[in-house]
């Protein structure tokens, strides 16, 4: 049997969390190697990180860096990347939009308290006026269960992840988006996703002050 992928990152969400989500959804078991100090990261940089950056995933004999490259490889390998070029273009387009929104939520915990207040208003507005209406419209237009080709893809996994991320910060974010609410319920009921959502999985918790401190200590 092939070796399990090994994920090299800190013990927190950051840019690795979507990779965890994708593997978990595909039903792929993975190992994690966490670094906790600047020195441990430095060692990795000097040995295996092509651009001296994480996330890094050891998979199928490769040491892959660059989040998108990793996501695309896993999506392709596990049939979560559409069935032709056009479907892939749509999946990439949706995925990039979701990542733009995700980036705002990833950065949010690192802001000062005053900045956070303003940023939360910005995130609320952009979510409710740009991103959620866009995906509600996609689902409405084709009337299917998933974003592309009536089949689960990378874009669905990311949309589901970002919905949960937004709801952690803005409780009523999905109100007024009935198709996204139904999408969320459908996704939650996929057995591999259900398992990842359950306590004890490799899913990482919402970033707290301790996480922020750890990241600042290691990376800065
Ligand atoms: O998407 C990617 O994987 C890259 N385009 C960016 C990765 C990145 O910025 N990694 C940072 C940590 S922030 N999130 O994981 C990193 O490894 N910084 C160390 C450094 O010296 O640049």
Q: Is the bond preceding residue 110 a cis peptide, omega within 30 degrees?
A: no
Nearest alpha-carbon partner for 75 in 8, 135, 21: 21
| Separation of CA 177 and ligand 1 centre (Å) | 34
Q: Tell me: the pLDDT tens digits for 52-105?
A: 999 999 999 999 999 999 999 999 999 999 999 999 999 999 999 999 999 999
Domain 6-78+196-219: which topology? Glutaredoxin (3.40.30)
Task: Output the pTM of the full model.
Answer: 0.98
Question: What are the boundaries of each domain within the chain?
Answer: 6-78+196-219, 85-188
Ligand 1 site-directed mutation target among 18, 49, 53, 207, most atoms within 8 Å of CB: 53
Distance 85 CA to ligand 1 centre (A): 29
Which CATH fold would you assign to the domain 85-188? Glutathione S-transferase Yfyf (Class Pi); Chain A, domain 2 (1.20.1050)
Report which ligand 1 atom has the smallest distance to the Cα of 9.
15
Per residue in 62-72, pLDDT (tens digit) is 999 999 999 99
User: What is the structure's pLDDT at 161?
Assistant: 98
Give counts: helices (H), strands (E), the chain.
Answer: 10, 4
Closest ligand 1 atom to residue 49 Cα is 17
Q: Is the dihedral of CA 150, 152, 153, 154 positive or negative?
A: positive
């Amino acid at each position: 049997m092939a070796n399990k992928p090994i994920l090299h990152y800190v013990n927190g969400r950051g840019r690795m969390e979507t990779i965890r989500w994708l593997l978990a959804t595909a039903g792929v078991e993975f190992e994690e190697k966490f670094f906790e100090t600047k020195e441990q990261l430095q060692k990795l940089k000097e040995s295996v990180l092509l651009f001296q950056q994480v996330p890094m995933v050891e998979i199928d004999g490769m040491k892959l860096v660059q989040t998108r490259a990793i996501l695309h490889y896993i999506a392709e390998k596990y049939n979560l990347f559409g069935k032709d070029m056009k479907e892939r273009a749509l999946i990439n387009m949706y995925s990039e939009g979701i990542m733009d929104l995700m980036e705002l939520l990833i950065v949010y915990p690192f802001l000062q308290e005053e900045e956070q207040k303003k940023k939360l208003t910005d995130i609320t507005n952009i979510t409710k006026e740009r991103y959620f209406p866009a995906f509600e419209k996609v689902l409405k237009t084709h009337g299917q269960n998933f974003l592309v080709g009536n089949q689960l893809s990378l874009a669905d996994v990311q949309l589901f992840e970002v919905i949960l991320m937004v709801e952690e910060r803005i409780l009523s974010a999905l109100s007024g988006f009935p198709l996204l609410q139904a999408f969320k319920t459908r996704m939650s009921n996929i057995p591999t996703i259900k398992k990842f959502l359950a306590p004890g999985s490799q899913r990482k918790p919402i970033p707290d002050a301790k996480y922020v401190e750890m990241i600042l200590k290691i990376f800065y």
